[in-house]
Copies of this chain bind each other. A is one copy, B any other.
Amino acid sequence: MSPRTQAQNEVIREHSRQKILDAALRLFAVKGFDGTSVSGIAREAGVAKGLIYNYFKSKEDIVHQIVMSGISESDHVFAELMAQETAQDKMRFLFEFVRTYLKERYEYNKLLHMLAFRLEEFPGLIDIVVAKQTSMMPLFVGILADTGVENAEREAKLLSATMDGIGNQYMSLKEKFPLDEMIDLLIEKYCH
């Protein structure tokens, strides 16, 4: 008879919020941002349409929150990478991470790739994503230089494009693309 406590409410809220985020990510990955309707997300999440707006300001905000939570995850991964001993180990860790990431975060990755062409529609996002990318690059260059690669700047950008392309093709072709073989090849080339 007493109203719920704040803690109880927090649990309920977080549960609903996560159900919606999961459903949205699932649909965005398959049908794209415009192809996914808020009604569809509600249906997929098993909640009423209106509830979504208790947790998200707008459809854009759902994307925003999905990406933000992905970014905060990536910070952990990055810390782990930097904890590796040698430059070779760091590179290997990176490649292995890409392998796992592409396989297990397929939907999230697809969303990111689709967004790449329209970041300007998500004002809060673009700065954060760009900042992330530009802060990563020098570290990546450093690691590559440490493995003995000459002209590491150029090579880093090329390798970065290569991994981008691998992600791209894996998403388009799925099992028809030999992801494992490609990652192994990169390890072979860069972590001798």
Contact = CB atoms under 8 A, between A and B. Distances in A.
Interface of A: 3, 31-35, 48, 110, 113-114, 116-119, 121, 154-155, 157-158, 160-166, 168-169, 171-172, 177-178, 181-182, 185-186
Contact of A165 (B119, B162, B171): B162
The A contact surface, by secondary structure, is helix
15 contacts: A32-B117, A32-B118, A35-B118, A35-B121, A114-B117, A116-B168, A116-B172, A154-B178, A154-B185, A158-B182, A161-B165, A162-B165, A164-B165, A164-B168, A164-B169
A185 B161 contact: no
A162 to B, nearest CB: 4
Q: What is the count of identical protomers in the complex?
A: 4
A176 to B, nearest CB: 9
A26 B117 CA distance: 14
Contact of A157 (B113, B121, B160, B178): B178
A168 B172 contact: no
A169 B162 contact: no
A118 B158 CA distance: 27
Contacts of A182: 154, 157-158, 161
Contacts of A163: 165
